[in-house]
């Protein structure tokens, strides 16, 4: 029997094995590192896989082990596995994005350089390891900049800096630790801060033909010393104003980075000068977005990825058709300003009574420690909403923002985070 190999299928990729199995292709799990990154450690559940292969640095040995399962596709399941999936799929002569631009699909500096070389709008940037160089560049650029690790994900280490002192502190903090994948940071990329609304464009490609599966508008605010903290993702209708420009730009970025097969997750800002890339992941979208899209649209990157690799005729017949919403959908995160012991959420019953409420997910239970929200890993509570009326959805999102804040949290032994 032929199989599909999934490289590092952490978190969001959990839906791929059952989706491929339903199409008649069981999955082999391939681990690109001998040790699982700290953020993903826990009991290894192989119930959706026929086996787990651990890559130990010898590509020939890994290919020999995989060949026993007659792979029809080798696909990354997370950011960490992009380069190994490229290498093995190319080595085995399968559908592949190839290795020529693998580094540009992972290294956030090389990524922007490559897109700029293709003549597309990109932020000004510099790759630095030296504090003096970063300070000088920030003084030259002026205003606010963004400093982030070269190879990470989930907002890890992303810091908005309004002056050289802040930039230097961000550099020191990044260089002095491992990234979210438990790998050392060997440098940072500093980029100009882009002004404009941010969008997520999720795609799947086959043989260079690109398809948009879902687009999300990102809601952000400044809190706890963090500029542009992500607090909302709202599913955008396929015919909404500006979508055509976003789509054309996204497809040009995919071409520039050599993403010809499989899913991609693009973060793009719509600036006064038009779309401009923040970054790209050559893999399925993070968080729960594929599963939210499936609920709201009826299909997602999961289905299109299966079509891309094992049902190509179905992909080709439908590629380019705009998605249609069954109902409007949004995700919202609450923002804790406190550090201490959480007693309760005041007014949570008002959130639970919202007409568009789908689910409230408590990440910090009363009685446990709570900390100021500064990234994707420190939300105390998230909410999903869906409704036939976009107006009702927007009103309920606004109500959540009104309820959230210092008065929402009953906390002992706390200090306010400024």
Angle (CA) 27 32 37, round 5°: 110
Q: What is the pLDDT of residue 416?
A: 52
**Mean pLDDT across the stretch 57-71?**
97
pLDDT value at 123 more than 80: yes
SS3 312: helix
Distance CA 164, CA 168 (A): 6
Q: What is the pLDDT of residue 175?
A: 87
Q: What is the pLDDT of residue 45?
A: 86
pLDDT value at 176 more than 80: no
Q: What is the pLDDT of residue 418?
A: 43
**DSSP element (H, E) containing 372:** none
Q: What is the DSSP letter of 20?
A: H
Q: What is the pLDDT of residue 193?
A: 95
For 224-259, the pLDDT digits (tens) are 988 889 999 999 999 999 999 999 999 999 999 999
E-strand spans in 23-77? 27-31, 49-54, 71-76
One DSSP character per residue, 239-290 reads: TSTTHHHHHHHHHHHHHHTT--SEEEEEEEEEETTEEEEEEEESSS-STTHH
Dig out the tokens for 232 from the structure: 């909302």
pTM to 2 decimal places: 0.94
Q: What is the pLDDT of residue 415?
A: 53
CB 282 within 8 A of CB 105: yes
- Crossing angle for the helix pair 108-117 and 243-256, to the nearest 10 degrees: 100
**Mean pLDDT across the stretch 297-309?**
98
Residues belonging to the chain: 418
**Mean pLDDT across the stretch 361-370?**
97
The pLDDT confidence band at residue 417, using thresholds 50, 70 and 90, is low
For 259-272, the pLDDT digits (tens) are 999 999 999 999 99
Work out the number of other CB atoms within 10 angstroms of the CB of residue 80: 28
pLDDT value at 147 more than 60: yes
Instruction: Report phi then psi at 357, rounded to 5.
Output: -60, 130
CA distances from 96 to 57, 90, 164, 217, 381 (A): 20, 6, 42, 30, 39
**Mean pLDDT across the stretch 100-123?**
97
pLDDT value at 221 more than 60: yes
């Amino acid at each position: 029997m032929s199989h599909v190999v999934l490289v590092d299928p952490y978190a969001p990729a959990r839906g791929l094995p059952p989706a491929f199995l339903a199409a008649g292709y069981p999955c082999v799990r391939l681990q690109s590192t001998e040790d699982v990154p700290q953020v993903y450690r826990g009991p290894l559940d192989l119930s959706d896989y026929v086996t787990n292969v651990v890559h130990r640095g010898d590509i020939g040995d890994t290919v020999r082990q995989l060949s026993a399962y007659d792979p029809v596709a080798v696909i990354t399941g997370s950011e960490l596995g992009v380069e190994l999936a490229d290498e093995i799929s190319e080595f085995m002569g399968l559908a592949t994005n190839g290795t020529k631009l693998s580094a540009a699909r992972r290294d956030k500096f090389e990524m922007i350089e490559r897109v700029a070389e293709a003549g597309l709008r990109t932020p000004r940037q510099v790759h630095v390891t030296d504090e003096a160089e970063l300070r000088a560049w920030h003084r030259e650029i002026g205003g606010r900049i963004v400093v982030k690790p070269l190879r990470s994900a989930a907002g890890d280490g992303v810091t908005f800096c309004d002056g050289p002192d802040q930039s230097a502190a961000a550099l020191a903090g990044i260089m002095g630790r491992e990234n979210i994948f438990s790998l050392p940071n060997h440098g940072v990329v500093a980029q100009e801060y882009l002004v404009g609304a941010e969008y997520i464009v999720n795609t799947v490609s086959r043989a260079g033909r690109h398809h948009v599966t879902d687009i999300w508008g990102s809601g952000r605010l400044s809190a706890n010393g963090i500029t542009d903290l992500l607090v909302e993702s709202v599913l955008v209708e396929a015919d909404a104003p500006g979508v055509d420009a976003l789509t054309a730009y996204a497809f040009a970025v995919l071409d520039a980075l050599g993403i010809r097969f499989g899913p991609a997750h693009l973060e793009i800002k719509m600036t006064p000068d038009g779309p401009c890339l923040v970054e790209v992941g050559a893999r399925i979208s993070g968080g729960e977005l594929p599963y939210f899209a499936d609920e709201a649209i009826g299909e997602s990157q999961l289905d299109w990825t299966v079509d891309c690799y094992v049902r190509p005729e179905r992909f080709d017949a439908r590629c380019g058709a705009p998605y249609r919403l069954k109902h409007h959908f949004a995700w919202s995160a609450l923002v804790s300003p406190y550090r201490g012991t959480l007693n309760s959420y005041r007014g949570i019953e008002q959130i639970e009574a919202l007409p568009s409420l789908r689910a409230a997910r408590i990440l910090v239970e009363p009685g446990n420690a709570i900390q100021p929200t500064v990234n994707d890993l420190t939300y105390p509570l998230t909410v999903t909403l869906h409704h036939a009326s976009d107006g009702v959805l927007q009103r309920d999102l606004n109500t959540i923002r009104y309820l959230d804040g210092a008065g929402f949290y009953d906390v002992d032994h706390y200090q306010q985070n400024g």
